[in-house]
A = this chain, B = another copy of it.
Amino acid sequence: MPTPTTDVDLALAAELAQQLRVDSIRSSTSAGSGHPTSSMSAADLLAVLVGRHLRYDWDDPGHAANDHLIFSKGHASPLLYSVYKAVGVVSDEELMTGYRRFGSRLEGHPTPVLPWVDVATGSLGQGLPDAVGVALAGKYLDELPYRVWTLCGDSEMAEGSIWEALDKASYYKLANLIAIVDVNRLGQRGPTDLGWDVDTYAARAAAFGARVFVIDGHDVAAIDQALAQAGDLSGDQPSVIVARTRKGRGFSEVEDREDWHGKPLPEHMAERALVELGGERHLLVRGPRPPEATKARPAAGGAEVKLPGYERGQKVATRKAYGDALAALGVRPDVVAMDGEVSNSTFADEFAKAYPERYFEMFIAEQQLIAAAVGVGVRGYRPFASTFAAFFTRAYDFIRMAAISRASICLAGSHAGVEIGADGPSQMALEDLAMLRAVHGSTVLYPSDATSAAALVLAMADREGISYMRTTRGAYPVLYDSAEAFPVGGSKVLRQTDADQVTLIGAGVTLHECLAAADALAGDGISARVIDLYSVKPADTATLTAAAAATGGRLVVAEDHHPEGGVGAAVLDALTGAGRVDLAVAHLAVREMPGSGTPKELLDAAGISASHIADAARGLLA
């Protein structure tokens, strides 16, 4: 590689901006798709940032003191990849032949398959919340002087998650967070709701606690000054740079014109654009280097975790076991916890009390809760995020994107199902298992007792991808000794004889109902196998298949969840995925809209209590 220019003055930055525009056009035209005009509006901002302010060792993306650069407007990927060319980590050839092509790492929207990308973006309004998580880690966990620079689009300022992010950024005094808002006035189908009303953007950001800089986003000197001030870590406020820009800046045929969102220039237009922009350039630049890292990234594991122990028969809620186990996990310095203002219900408060320096209260902002988890995960921490299981639905887009970010995060949702009782359906998670199972690479756990819950919390801490544990509000008898192992992907057969006629499958609260049903059936002379399917995904195909084979294919599955996508679906997927099956299935689930009541009344009304399970088994044998 030729020697890069490391002393980037403003004149060179302006040249660099033109190169970024040219390369954004070239790459997207060659690909036949992409967002050149959304890239061109922010080219001056990025040229000055990367050339003069971003402290980054491009040869060592893992350098602990590197600044972070997050494109919250992920559709401006041509600009980001053009930056990578300008700093010499992506070749012009790769840019021109890889962008948006099958098998290439230069995907349509950035993902961490690239070593310089922290998080996947492309669902708007997520990059800034993720950046808040990275900045939390920088200030409170790493205690390193890196900054988290985030490029936002103006359209995405309409997403509530942006305001959750700024609220938390100011609450936690994140001077290391800088949002650069590219106010190019135009969204996909026309003007944004605020257009070029930069004063309103500024007033909103200020009201949410930010230092605000309003600048002309094409004036490199103004950009330089704002970035210098915003990057100063001595204050206690996040910064928001509101940059007035023009979409498609630099090519008169598209500049500030509607109907050019997300469209590559046809080749003949691209040729004219390159002429107007001064032609191809191959500048190679490097900005400032990071300081020495005074602290290494955290190492996972290490310390021995002593899990809480419970007596068999003792009544303990699995949510309590979650809190106990999480607090025990705290001996691992990489473990971090956060909660959505219900830590006294989820029992995350046990961790908060023991390790306040590694606990973050995210208040009632579930999108930011997940984003904070993803963000601290970027820095190598292992986050556990908890709230009522029902309210993870608020953050489904963030969970989905976390999977694309290749994040490893642990989620715990309490108060699941009709079992919660009097609070009524708004507080009952009845879709969470379906939602989490459908996430790529996820793990879904639903323990029925405290021993298994605690053991599975420990297992989650080393699991890749999105791990979810569903916990139960009420206290139920401990079923297992502390010595039992609960591998992810396993199950427990709690009742079994050679003469079993039917298999009862439950998880969480319904497992206790299955056990009671088996007792009732035994009174009728019916021998029932009972399986605790604590690992809903992956499910224990071997045990399920053996049980189906042993009991004439007769299965009763009971779950405190809507019928779709939960435990029943997991059982059917496992069984049918293993070859030909002969099945007679009774699937008991919550099929009517519940109201308030006692847990017992509601389990019974939903048809998932012991008597219904026993009746269903009798029906299969009739």
Contact = CB atoms under 8 A, between A and B. Distances in A.
Contact of A580 (B187, B206, B582): B582
Interface string A555-584: 000000011111011101100110111111
Contact of A596 (B107, B587, B593): B107
Interface residues of A, number: 115
Interface stretch (A41-49, A392-400, A448-456): A392-400
B160 A164 contact: yes
Interface in A377-430: 390-391, 393-394, 396-397, 400-401, 403-404, 421-427, 430
B158 A109 contact: no
Nearest to A259: B344
Interface stretch (A98-106, A138-146, A329-337, A479-487): A98-106
A23 interface: no
A560 to B, nearest CB: 13
Contact of A431 (B192, B438, B596): B438
Given A158-B364, A159-B365, A424-B107, A102 B602 contact: yes
A298 interface: no
Copies per complex?
Answer: 2
B596 A562 contact: no
A562 B103 CA distance: 20
Interface string A180-221: 000000011100110000001001101111000000000000
Interface string A158-173: 1111111001100100
Contact of A438 (B33, B104, B562, B576): B562
A565 B188 CA distance: 32
A123 B435 CA distance: 17
Contacts of A204: 204, 207-208
Given A341-B187, A437-B434, A582-B580, A597 B565 contact: no
B573 A584 contact: no
Contact of A104 (B364, B397, B565, B596): B596
A425 B344 CA distance: 37
Interface string A106-117: 111101010000
Contacts of A367: 160
Given A125-B364, A160-B163, A171 B188 contact: no
A27 B163 CA distance: 37
Nearest to A187: B341
B572 A573 contact: yes
A439 interface: yes
A277 to B, nearest CB: 24
Given A203-B207, A431-B435, 19 more contacts: A101-B597, A104-B596, A106-B596, A109-B423, A109-B427, A121-B426, A156-B364, A160-B163, A171-B193, A189-B343, A200-B207, A434-B437, A437-B565, A438-B565, A573-B587, A579-B584, A580-B582, A580-B583, A581-B583
17 contacts: A102-B598, A102-B605, A108-B423, A108-B427, A121-B426, A122-B426, A156-B364, A158-B364, A159-B394, A160-B162, A187-B341, A200-B209, A207-B207, A404-B425, A431-B438, A434-B437, A581-B584
